[in-house]
């Protein structure tokens, strides 16, 4: 993966394989045989059509819109580089991808988002009740892969995976809780360290699942597992910062906003607290800092308000500051791979991947 285009090609190459594997876990059409095999025989009678409409249909609507599947691809590259067989381990690659899509369905409800991947957010299209039920189901469905045990892992490895998922998924809810609380607070009075911890929990924990899972299924010890967890955690924080930067840049260039799959000025309209806004409030003059806080707190902010908020961010060099932090995290992430017994090819790919998450333009 010599450059960003190489990374895009790798993601595009793997995506059909990953989607076919997700479809084995959650088919587009849920019939009686699948429901009985996956969830157990009905105690009375399943309503297949109702389950299909409330679970498979909204999930596949979201999946078919796009998404990079980079968590699944990163798992496969790491597992291959650690001596595993990607073909055998492909089912496990769906675990972080399915979990990720569950979190974004629920997050969009909690954030009152209007768009996701260029279309209506799932709760707007299917209703909040359907969205929450489907999103929550995606936290549990991947556990079936562990019980099915396609790689014939020993009981100790399977227990490690269960315990790892319990730990990391609990931490995602700590991060989301912090984010929700800040969203509901008019003031931007959080520290940069608190922001970083929120990202480490909310986004980083899903990444840590990728690294830890790759180590466990390939039979490596806890030292390798933690090194890969730290690599993926920092890559994910860098990715989140990069995502926030793209939201600002695509808002400035309104012609590109639709390419990002979100509404104009999405993060500012939602009152999202980002590294850029935390930095801006801390470094702008008090009057402009209060104005930025006011815009973020206003659910009826206009496009003019959004552009004014971005002016405050730019006046404090917030975008450049955030980008420098993302690059710093990317470098720190790559250093965590120094003592991991990866193949040369996998090491080069993951080194480039840590740069890609910062340098991507969509």
pLDDT tens for 314-345 read: 999 999 999 999 999 999 999 999 999 999 99
Question: pTM to 2 decimals?
Answer: 0.92
pLDDT digits 0-9 by tens, 218-240: 999 999 999 999 999 999 999 99
Q: Where are the beta strands (DSSP E) in the chain?
A: 115-116, 119-120
Q: What is the pLDDT of residue 269?
A: 86
* CB-based contacts of 175, cutoff 8 Å, min separation 6: 197, 198, 199, 200, 201, 202, 203, 204, 205
pLDDT band at 259 (very low <50, low <70, confident <90, very high): low
Q: Which structural domain range is residue 280 located in?
A: 4-359
What is the chain's Cα-based Rg? Answer: 21
Alpha helices in 184-302 (DSSP H): 192-202, 204-217, 222-252, 266-269, 275-283, 286-297
CATH number at residue 86: 1.10.600.10
Tell whether the model's pLDDT for residue 95 goes beyond 90. Answer: yes
Tell whether the model's pLDDT for residue 143 goes beyond 60. Answer: yes
- Cα separation, 314 vs 322, whole angstroms: 11
Q: What is the pLDDT of residue 248?
A: 92
Q: What is the pLDDT of residue 142?
A: 94
- Cα separation, 282 vs 275, whole angstroms: 11
Number of domains in the chain: 1
Tell whether the model's pLDDT for residue 200 goes beyond 50. Answer: yes
Dihedral through CA 213, CA 217, CA 223, CA 227, nearest 10?
-40
Asked if 195 and 188 touch (Cβ cutoff 8 Å), the reply is: no
* CB-based contacts of 268, cutoff 8 Å, min separation 6: 251, 295, 296, 301, 305, 306, 309, 310
Q: What is the pLDDT of residue 2?
A: 40
pLDDT band at 263 (very low <50, low <70, confident <90, very high): low
């Amino acid at each position: 993966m010599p450059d960003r285009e190489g990374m895009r090609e790798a993601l595009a190459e793997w995506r059909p394989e990953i989607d076919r594997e997700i479809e084995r876990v959650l088919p587009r059409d849920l019939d009686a045989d699948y429901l009985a095999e996956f969830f157990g025989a009905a105690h009375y009678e399943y309503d297949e059509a109702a389950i299909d409409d409330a679970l498979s249909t909204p999930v596949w609507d979201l999946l078919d819109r796009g998404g990079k599947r980079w968590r699944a691809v990163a798992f496969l590259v790491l597992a291959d580089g650690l001596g595993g067989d990607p073909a055998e381990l492909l089912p496990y690659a769906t675990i972080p991808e399915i979990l990720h899509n569950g979190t974004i369905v629920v997050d969009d409800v909690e954030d009152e988002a209007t768009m996701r991947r260029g279309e209506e957010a799932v709760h707007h299209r299917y209703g909040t009740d359907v969205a929450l039920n489907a999103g929550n189901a995606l936290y549990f469905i991947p556990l079936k892969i562990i019980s099915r045990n396609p790689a014939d892992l020993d009981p100790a490895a399977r227990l490690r995976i269960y315990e790892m998922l319990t730990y990391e998924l609990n931490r995602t809810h700590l991060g989301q809780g912090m984010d929700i609380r800040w969203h509901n607070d008019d003031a931007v009075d959080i520290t940069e360290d608190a922001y970083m911890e929120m990202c480490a929990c909310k986004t980083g924990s899903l990444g840590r699942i990728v690294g830890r899972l790759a180590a466990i299924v390939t039979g490596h010890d806890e030292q390798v597992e933690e090194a890969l967890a730290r690599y993926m955690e920092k890559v994910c924080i860098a990715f989140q910062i990069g995502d926030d930067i793209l939201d600002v840049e695509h808002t400035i260039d309104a012609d590109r906003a639709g390419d990002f799959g979100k509404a104009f000025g999405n993060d500012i309209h939602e009152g999202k607290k980002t590294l850029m806004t935390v930095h801006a409030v801390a470094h702008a003059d008090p009057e402009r800092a209060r104005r930025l806080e006011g815009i973020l707190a206003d659910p009826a902010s206009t496009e003019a308000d959004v552009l004014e908020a971005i002016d405050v961010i730019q006046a404090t060099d917030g975008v450049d500051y955030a980008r420098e932090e993302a690059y710093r995290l990317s470098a720190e992430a790559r250093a965590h791979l120094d003592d991991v017994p990866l193949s040369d090819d996998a090491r080069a790919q993951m080194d480039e991947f840590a740069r890609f998450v910062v340098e991507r333009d969509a």
